[in-house]
Amino acid sequence: MTSSRDTIWSVSVRRLPLARLGESLRGAESGGANEVNVDICDGTFAPGFSLGFEVVEAIRDATTLPIHVHLQAERPERFIADLSRLGCAALTVPIEACTHAHRAFAQIRDLGMKSGASVNPGTALTTLEYVLPLLDRVVLPVDEGGPADREPPPAAFERVRILRENIDYHE
């Protein structure tokens, strides 16, 4: 994994007004953001539909910030090459959605993107054991969603600690 101490200041596109996307991205960049995060959900793996590839193109044309896509879709391997062609700098996919996760992460890297895995709260962290060397980041949601003001469960912090220890071990 890339040094776990690298700091990413990411701006999430889902929090920006799309009518003023370019202006918002320039403001985020001047405010210190060093990455744009785009969540793309297929409505099957993750609930609800979301921004699509056209928005990635618009972002690419509106900013020089690197684009990180968190692709929450069934069989995300189908879209890796397309997202690379769109200019994504980093791609995170749910480890649970990949038939052969090691192949997916290797493909992401082979296409010149940084690779990331997200792990659902109910999935054992051991699923990452053999792919950690192929990853540049891990997204570890603390809960399954819901109200933003809800406190994360206490076990979430234990998962973060365990993941930190595993990453340190592999470095």
Nearest Cα residue to 102 out of 132, 146, 68, 58: 132
Residue 51 is predicted with a pLDDT of 74
Nearest Cα residue to 15 out of 129, 164, 31: 31
> What SS3 state is found at 125?
helix
Residue 171 is predicted with a pLDDT of 78
Nearest Cα residue to 73 out of 100, 103, 46, 104: 46
Report the Cα 120 to chain-centroid distance in Å: 12
Report the Cα 131 to chain-centroid distance in Å: 16
Q: Token pair for residue 171? A: 């470095």
Nearest Cα residue to 13 out of 33, 31, 39: 39
- Tell me the pLDDT of the chain (171 aa) as tens digits: 544 456 778 888 887 888 899 999 999 999 999 999 998 988 777 766 677 888 899 999 999 999 999 999 999 999 999 999 999 999 999 999 999 999 999 999 999 999 999 998 889 999 998 999 999 999 988 766 655 567 777 788 899 899 999 888 877
Q: What is the pTM of this model?
A: 0.88
Give the span between the Cα atoms of 4 and 21, in whole angstroms: 30
Give the span between the Cα atoms of 46 and 97, in whole angstroms: 10
